[in-house]
Amino acid sequence: MSVPRTSTREHILKRATMLFQGRGYNGFSFKDISAPMGIRNAAIHYHFRTKSDLCSAVIARYRDLLKSETGDFMKHGGSAKSQLDAYLAFIRHEILDARCMCPLTNVAVALDTLPGEVRAQATMLSHDLLAYLTRVMELGREQGEFQFNCAAEQKALSVKATLQGAGQLARLMGPQVVDQVIDQIRCDLGL
Protein backbone atom coordinates (compact mmCIF):
# COMPACT_ATOMS: atom_id res chain seq x y z
CA MET A 1 0.00 0.00 0.00
CA SER A 2 1.53 3.28 -1.09
CA VAL A 3 0.70 6.51 0.72
CA PRO A 4 0.27 9.79 -1.21
CA ARG A 5 3.25 12.11 -0.67
CA THR A 6 1.17 14.99 0.65
CA SER A 7 0.03 12.93 3.63
CA THR A 8 3.16 10.86 4.19
CA ARG A 9 4.39 12.97 7.13
CA GLU A 10 1.03 12.68 8.88
CA HIS A 11 0.88 8.92 8.31
CA ILE A 12 4.42 8.54 9.62
CA LEU A 13 3.51 10.50 12.76
CA LYS A 14 0.38 8.42 13.35
CA ARG A 15 2.24 5.14 12.96
CA ALA A 16 5.14 6.37 15.11
CA THR A 17 2.73 7.51 17.82
CA MET A 18 1.12 4.08 17.92
CA LEU A 19 4.48 2.34 18.10
CA PHE A 20 6.02 4.77 20.59
CA GLN A 21 3.05 4.57 22.94
CA GLY A 22 2.73 0.82 22.53
CA ARG A 23 6.36 -0.29 22.58
CA GLY A 24 8.42 2.67 23.78
CA TYR A 25 11.32 4.46 22.12
CA ASN A 26 13.57 1.42 21.92
CA GLY A 27 10.80 -0.93 20.80
CA PHE A 28 10.56 0.05 17.15
CA SER A 29 12.63 1.11 14.17
CA PHE A 30 11.98 3.07 11.00
CA LYS A 31 11.36 -0.26 9.26
CA ASP A 32 8.36 -0.84 11.57
CA ILE A 33 6.93 2.34 10.09
CA SER A 34 8.07 2.10 6.47
CA ALA A 35 7.22 -1.55 5.73
CA PRO A 36 3.48 -1.40 6.58
CA MET A 37 3.19 1.94 4.79
CA GLY A 38 4.90 0.64 1.65
CA ILE A 39 7.52 3.37 1.69
CA ARG A 40 11.28 3.42 2.06
CA ASN A 41 13.10 4.49 5.20
CA ALA A 42 14.40 7.43 3.16
CA ALA A 43 10.85 8.81 3.06
CA ILE A 44 10.83 8.92 6.85
CA HIS A 45 14.27 10.57 6.89
CA TYR A 46 12.94 13.18 4.47
CA HIS A 47 10.46 14.32 7.13
CA PHE A 48 12.37 13.37 10.28
CA ARG A 49 16.16 13.34 10.12
CA THR A 50 16.52 10.94 13.05
CA LYS A 51 14.40 8.70 15.25
CA SER A 52 14.96 11.25 18.00
CA ASP A 53 13.42 13.97 15.79
CA LEU A 54 10.47 11.70 15.05
CA CYS A 55 9.80 10.80 18.69
CA SER A 56 10.25 14.42 19.77
CA ALA A 57 7.56 15.32 17.21
CA VAL A 58 5.30 12.58 18.63
CA ILE A 59 5.60 14.00 22.14
CA ALA A 60 5.21 17.60 20.90
CA ARG A 61 2.03 16.50 19.13
CA TYR A 62 0.74 14.98 22.39
CA ARG A 63 1.50 18.30 24.13
CA ASP A 64 -0.45 20.14 21.43
CA LEU A 65 -3.35 17.74 21.89
CA LEU A 66 -3.37 18.39 25.63
CA LYS A 67 -3.30 22.15 25.05
CA SER A 68 -6.07 22.06 22.45
CA GLU A 69 -8.25 19.79 24.58
CA THR A 70 -7.82 21.88 27.73
CA GLY A 71 -7.36 25.37 26.30
CA ASP A 72 -10.98 26.54 26.35
CA PHE A 73 -11.44 25.34 29.90
CA MET A 74 -8.38 27.21 31.06
CA LYS A 75 -9.48 30.42 29.31
CA HIS A 76 -13.14 30.42 30.24
CA GLY A 77 -13.39 28.43 33.43
CA GLY A 78 -16.14 25.90 33.83
CA SER A 79 -16.77 22.91 36.01
CA ALA A 80 -13.60 21.28 37.27
CA LYS A 81 -15.51 18.03 37.68
CA SER A 82 -16.49 17.94 34.01
CA GLN A 83 -12.91 18.71 33.01
CA LEU A 84 -11.60 15.92 35.24
CA ASP A 85 -14.21 13.53 33.85
CA ALA A 86 -13.12 14.37 30.30
CA TYR A 87 -9.47 13.83 31.21
CA LEU A 88 -10.21 10.50 32.89
CA ALA A 89 -12.25 9.40 29.86
CA PHE A 90 -9.35 10.37 27.55
CA ILE A 91 -6.84 8.38 29.62
CA ARG A 92 -9.23 5.42 29.85
CA HIS A 93 -9.61 5.44 26.06
CA GLU A 94 -5.84 5.62 25.54
CA ILE A 95 -5.16 2.68 27.85
CA LEU A 96 -8.10 0.42 27.05
CA ASP A 97 -9.28 1.23 23.54
CA ALA A 98 -6.09 2.44 21.86
CA ARG A 99 -3.99 0.07 24.00
CA CYS A 100 -1.22 2.56 24.44
CA MET A 101 0.62 4.21 27.25
CA CYS A 102 1.08 7.87 28.00
CA PRO A 103 4.35 8.95 26.37
CA LEU A 104 5.64 9.85 29.83
CA THR A 105 5.38 6.23 30.96
CA ASN A 106 7.43 4.97 28.03
CA VAL A 107 9.99 7.75 28.42
CA ALA A 108 10.40 7.07 32.12
CA VAL A 109 11.10 3.39 31.52
CA ALA A 110 13.94 4.07 29.06
CA LEU A 111 15.05 7.50 30.28
CA ASP A 112 18.77 6.75 30.51
CA THR A 113 18.87 5.49 26.91
CA LEU A 114 16.99 8.38 25.30
CA PRO A 115 18.42 11.32 23.40
CA GLY A 116 18.30 14.69 25.14
CA GLU A 117 15.66 16.21 22.85
CA VAL A 118 13.22 13.37 23.58
CA ARG A 119 13.77 13.78 27.32
CA ALA A 120 13.32 17.55 26.95
CA GLN A 121 9.98 17.15 25.15
CA ALA A 122 8.84 14.65 27.77
CA THR A 123 9.83 17.03 30.56
CA MET A 124 7.81 19.82 28.96
CA LEU A 125 4.82 17.48 28.57
CA SER A 126 5.15 16.47 32.20
CA HIS A 127 5.16 20.11 33.33
CA ASP A 128 2.21 20.97 31.06
CA LEU A 129 0.19 18.05 32.35
CA LEU A 130 0.96 18.73 35.99
CA ALA A 131 0.10 22.43 35.57
CA TYR A 132 -3.21 21.51 33.95
CA LEU A 133 -4.17 18.96 36.60
CA THR A 134 -3.08 21.33 39.38
CA ARG A 135 -5.37 24.03 38.00
CA VAL A 136 -8.25 21.54 37.77
CA MET A 137 -7.65 20.52 41.40
CA GLU A 138 -7.47 24.17 42.54
CA LEU A 139 -10.69 25.07 40.75
CA GLY A 140 -12.42 21.93 41.93
CA ARG A 141 -11.66 22.78 45.52
CA GLU A 142 -12.60 26.48 45.03
CA GLN A 143 -15.89 25.46 43.43
CA GLY A 144 -16.61 22.97 46.21
CA GLU A 145 -16.60 20.06 43.76
CA PHE A 146 -13.46 18.33 45.12
CA GLN A 147 -12.43 17.61 48.68
CA PHE A 148 -8.82 16.83 49.59
CA ASN A 149 -6.46 17.86 52.36
CA CYS A 150 -3.16 18.55 50.58
CA ALA A 151 -1.77 21.09 48.15
CA ALA A 152 -3.45 21.03 44.72
CA GLU A 153 -0.13 20.24 43.05
CA GLN A 154 0.37 17.23 45.33
CA LYS A 155 -3.10 15.96 44.50
CA ALA A 156 -2.51 16.51 40.77
CA LEU A 157 0.78 14.62 40.96
CA SER A 158 -0.93 11.79 42.82
CA VAL A 159 -3.69 11.55 40.18
CA LYS A 160 -1.19 11.51 37.31
CA ALA A 161 1.08 8.94 38.95
CA THR A 162 -1.89 6.74 39.82
CA LEU A 163 -3.16 6.79 36.23
CA GLN A 164 0.29 6.01 34.81
CA GLY A 165 0.57 3.09 37.19
CA ALA A 166 -2.91 1.92 36.20
CA GLY A 167 -1.80 1.78 32.58
CA GLN A 168 1.11 -0.44 33.46
CA LEU A 169 -0.92 -2.69 35.76
CA ALA A 170 -3.69 -3.06 33.17
CA ARG A 171 -1.19 -4.78 30.89
CA LEU A 172 -0.42 -7.30 33.62
CA MET A 173 -3.71 -7.67 35.47
CA GLY A 174 -6.38 -6.77 32.92
CA PRO A 175 -8.42 -3.73 31.93
CA GLN A 176 -10.62 -3.73 35.04
CA VAL A 177 -7.68 -2.16 36.92
CA VAL A 178 -8.17 1.10 35.04
CA ASP A 179 -11.82 1.43 36.04
CA GLN A 180 -11.01 0.52 39.63
CA VAL A 181 -8.29 3.18 39.79
CA ILE A 182 -10.53 5.82 38.21
CA ASP A 183 -13.27 4.99 40.73
CA GLN A 184 -10.75 5.38 43.56
CA ILE A 185 -9.51 8.74 42.24
CA ARG A 186 -13.09 9.97 42.12
CA CYS A 187 -13.71 8.64 45.63
CA ASP A 188 -10.53 10.31 46.94
CA LEU A 189 -11.81 13.63 45.61
CA GLY A 190 -15.19 13.21 47.28
CA LEU A 191 -17.08 12.53 44.05
Superfamily name and number for 5-188: Tetracycline Repressor, domain 2 (1.10.357.10)
Give pairs for 7-10: CB < 8 Å, separation 24+: 8/37, 8/39, 8/43, 8/47, 9/47
**Ranges of each domain in the chain:** 5-188
Asked if the model's pLDDT at residue 76 lies above 70, the reply is no
User: Would you place residue 65 in the very low, low, confident or very high pLDDT band (cuts 50, 70, 90)?
Assistant: confident
Asked if the model's pLDDT at residue 104 lies above 80, the reply is no
Q: Output the pLDDT for position 77.
A: 61
Q: Output the pLDDT for position 72.
A: 61
Query: What is d(CA 137, CA 156) in angstroms, rounded to the nearest whole number?
Result: 7
Its pTM stands at 0.81
| Span 142-162, pLDDT tens digits | 999 999 999 999 999 999 999
- What average pLDDT does range 86-94 have in this prediction? 84
Q: Output the pLDDT for position 90.
A: 81
Closest CA to 172 of 101, 75, 79, 74: 101
Asked if the model's pLDDT at residue 71 lies above 80, the reply is no
